Structure 1
Amino acid sequence: MQAKLRAQANQHSIEFMLVGAVCLCIIMAFVILRDSVISVVETALVSIAIFSILLGFLKSQQPYYSIVLGTQSVVYIHKFGRWKIAFDNVHSSGVPKAGEAPELLELNAVGIKLVSIDPFLLALKPRLAGKLLIEQRHIFLQAVKMHCKNGNCPSEWLIESDEYSSDSGQVYTGLIAMFANRMHNLKTLTGYDLLLPANVLDRDIWRFSYLLNRWKLDPAQVVKNLLEEQATNEQM
């Protein structure tokens, strides 16, 4: 039994493309029939219509489902791969904060703390690790900035090494090692090993964090509730 959650980033892709295309056709038809030079306002409207089409297309390229929550694991689906965490390897989750009180910054993501990083890293594909390093760097740098207001940051926080040895003695190299170092640094800064950015979730970060913590307490009941909720929404 598992529930599939659709990312907010993937929603309304067809609507964006359709509205943009219709608006573009109307504007161009009006300009052609009028037989005059296109105005600045019309140029701006054309640009907005093209942007809407492009945005809809980019949204459509994202996986239809981004999170699969089952009774035995949680899976994150990315267009370049997926990662999976077994139920017993999830320690806790929450909204990560960076800095020191009273100046704490909430990152726009959900953090996941693992019991052990080795099962996760051994299953992680280098291609996905590389994409996540790039895509989530801006969130990580927000945490770094809050801890380095004097400008003196450890160099390993800014450039991840391609070698890493876990607490169990497992040695990693290449992109997996770089991702492992990012996880280590992220945990130092926020207390969490992994990030799920807000745009890959089907609800806001606080509600999703609460959902994951409820799932950790009673996975079968949470998955059942999600399936019932989805069934109700489809009937409406």
Structure 2
Amino acid sequence: MQFNVTPQAKRNAISFCAIAVGLIALLVFMHLVRDDIPVGISVVLGAAAGILLLLGIGKLIEPPVSLVITPDTIRYIHRKGEWQLDWDNVVRFDVPRVHRMMDLEDAPFLGFRVYNNDAVLQSISPRLASAILFEQRQLMTMALRHERPDQADYSEYFDIPEQFVSSEGRVYKGLIAVFGRRMEQMRELLGYDLYVSANALDRDIYEFRGHLQRLQASRQEAKQAPSD
């Protein structure tokens, strides 16, 4: 059985575009009716319309499905590529937390810890690796700020390695090496290797975690059931 995840963020795309067109139409109408419209109002309305239009178009070009989950694999789909993770390679998954003073704060991501990072590194393209490194830079900064507050120099976390040696001894170079090193760093800081943004999910992140746990449990039950 296959379960496809349609991201919530994509559902707002048409609304953003419609509001942008409405603001542009309002601005044109105002200038047709009056010649003394303050420049500030025109600039604000024009800027708001432009931002909303860009956001809407950005959401429209995103893939209609962000995750494809089967009894064997979890496949993450991004406009720059995809990675795939076998269920048997999943150690655990959860919402990662960072320390904030005496409390713990949930990060808006679902984290996956894996047994073997080679399986991921061999399935991801340099193009997608680059996109994820950029998109999750804020998560890395958050993790460093809260998990390493006494560290004065963070340069080691952002240095570009010449190569990366996986847990099985395979050597990677270029963007895949950078991504492999980042997986290690994020495991060290937050306990997980791979992260999927809450924006890529089709429901509240905690509801999705529960749904994924049920899928995992039903998979285990199916594997343990005696065959006829």
Check whether TM > 0.5.
yes
Could you tell me how far 1:32 is from its partner in structure 2? 1.3
Contact 1:90 1:216 in 2 (8 A): no
Map 1:1-236 to 2 at 5 A: 1-34=1-34, 36-39=35-38, 40-99=40-99, 102-153=102-153, 155-219=155-219
Amino acid at match of 2:162: D
Q: In structure 2, what is the Cα distance between the partners aligned to 1:111 and 1:117?
A: 14
Amino acid at match of 2:91: H
CA 1:98–1:30: 2 relative to 1, 3 Å: closer
Give structure 1 regions of 4+ aligned residues with deviation exceeding 3 angstroms: 40-43
Q: Once the two structures are superposed, what CA deviation does each residue of 1:74-101 show, in whole Å capped at 9, x if it has no partner?
A: 1111000011111211221101113387
Amino acid at match of 1:24: I
Could you tell me how far 1:104 is from its partner in structure 2? 2.8
Identity of aligned residues (%): 31
Gaps of 5+ in 1: 222-236
> How does the TM-score come out when normalised to structure 1?
0.84
Contact 2:30 2:37 in 1 (8 A): no
Contact 1:162 1:175 in 2 (8 A): no
Could you tell me how far 1:160 is from its partner in structure 2? 4.1
Q: Aligned pairs, how many?
A: 220
Q: In structure 2, what is the Cα distance between the partners aligned to 1:101 and 1:113?
A: 25
Could you tell me how far 1:211 is from its partner in structure 2? 2.2
> How does the TM-score come out when normalised to structure 2?
0.87
Q: In structure 2, what is the Cα distance between the partners aligned to 1:122 and 1:209?
A: 26
Q: Once the two structures are superposed, what CA deviation does each residue of 1:143-179 show, in whole Å capped at 9, x if it has no partner?
A: 1111221233464323242311122212211111111
1:105 partner SS: strand
Which residue in the other structure is 2:225 paired with? none
Per mean C-alpha deviation after superposition, the further-off stretch among 47-56 and 127-136 is 47-56
Which residue in the other structure is 1:227 paired with? none
